[in-house]
């Protein structure tokens, strides 16, 4: 691998890493919200179909 290719590979890796970090920072509140909801108690079960009455 040439020196130029190694430099391009390194720069691309840095760019992708920075992109991932920016993405996480932009969605930080959503990540916290979803994580805390994951560990909260489960909601009451709701029947899939309401009971049929009088037929």
Q: What pLDDT sits at residue 46?
A: 66
Q: What pLDDT sits at residue 54?
A: 53
Residue 13 included in any domain: yes
Q: What pLDDT sits at residue 38?
A: 83
Which range marks the domain in which residue 11 is found?
3-33
Residue 17 included in any domain: yes
Residue 27 included in any domain: yes
Question: In residues, how long is the chain?
Answer: 55
Residue 39 included in any domain: no
Q: Give the whole-angstrom CA distance, residue 14 versus residue 21.
A: 11
Instruction: Assess contact for 10 and 4: CB atoms under 8 A.
Output: no
Residue 21 included in any domain: yes
| Structural domain count, the chain | 1
Q: What pLDDT sits at residue 45?
A: 73
Q: Give the whole-angstrom CA distance, residue 44 versus residue 11.
A: 51
| Phi and psi, residue 45, nearest 5° | -75, 135
10-residue mean pLDDT profile of the chain (55 residues): values are: 95 98 95 87 68 58
Residue 51 included in any domain: no
């Amino acid at each position: 691998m040439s020196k130029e290719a190694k430099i391009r590979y390194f720069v691309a890796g840095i760019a992708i890493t920075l992109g991932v970090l920016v993405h996480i920072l932009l969605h930080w509140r959503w990540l916290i919200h979803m994580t805390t909801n994951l560990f909260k108690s489960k909601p009451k079960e709701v029947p899939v179909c309401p009971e049929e009455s009088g037929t």
